[in-house]
Amino acid sequence: MEKNQKVALITGCSSGIGRVSARFLAQKGYRIYALSRTPEKLSDIASENLHPIKVDITDTDSIDAALEKIEHIDILVNNAGYGLVSTVEDMNETQMLRQFDVNVFGVLRMCKAVIPKMRKQEAGVIINISSFLGKIGLPLLTFYNASKYAVEGITDSLRYELRDFNIRVHSIMPGFFDTDFARDNLVVNPQTFEKNSPYSKLVATLAPVIIDQINHGNDAIEVSKLILKIIEDENFDARQTAGDKAKKFIPMKKELSDEDFERRVREYYNLG
């Protein structure tokens, strides 16, 4: 490791934004520890600056074992997550708890593991990859929405909590991006998608549109470049949007009343 080389941990690196960002930052000279449950998927991009590590962010022992030999950590990017597609009526306890275990508690576990190192250094950057759906709701994505709202709350609170230790905390709120998310990171509740479901009209109207918007979304490199800007700019905003949908809906959310914004979203997605 080169002297003064910055060290970054990125979770959820097996695909999508995590994989692209790990490679991008490694190419920029950062020493990257790419965390994934399936690190073998990163063997093709492993390099002197990019080190895949097997980690399960739902397991504290797994996190501690992985971080034990990493003495210095400058940057943590909490990227790992997935989306549960289900109505509230159809969900089961296992699905609900799993969604929060990964998307929310995984973020908290990683922060808990990394903060002591950053605090002793009196420096650090934590970047939470949230979603524009952490500020607005959509049907069928209630649990994903709620988990990302929680990530936004974590970001807000940690900014106060860690300020005295010179640890910056930010969130990035991506819209829909052209990654493997729709194929690999959407978990569908079969009951919600049954033909005789009372929600069949809603599913038929919304689900194909959302999947199409994900599959034809922005390039993940946009988020990677934004991560780099946050790292290098000590005065960067607390949060930033990325992608067309986020840049469209988040400003609209701020400008309109809740009721007017809801009407706009219903019109946009033809929800009646």
130 is a catalytic site residue:
yes
Structure tokens at 217: 């979304």
The DSSP bridge pattern shows strands 83-85 and 7-10 to be unpaired
- Could you say which of 6, 14, 33, 36 is catalytic? 14
State yes or no: is 144 an active-site residue: yes
Active-site residue 197, yes or no? no
Per annotation, catalytic residue among 30, 33, 144, 199: 144
Among the listed residues 86, 131, 135, 148, the single catalytic one is: 148
Number of residues that this document lists for the chain: 272
- DSSP per residue, 79-126: ----EEEB-TTT--HHHHHHHHIIIIIHHHHHHHHHHHHHHHHT-EEE
Catalytic residue among 21, 86, 130, 224: 130
| Catalytic residue ranges | 14, 130, 144, 148
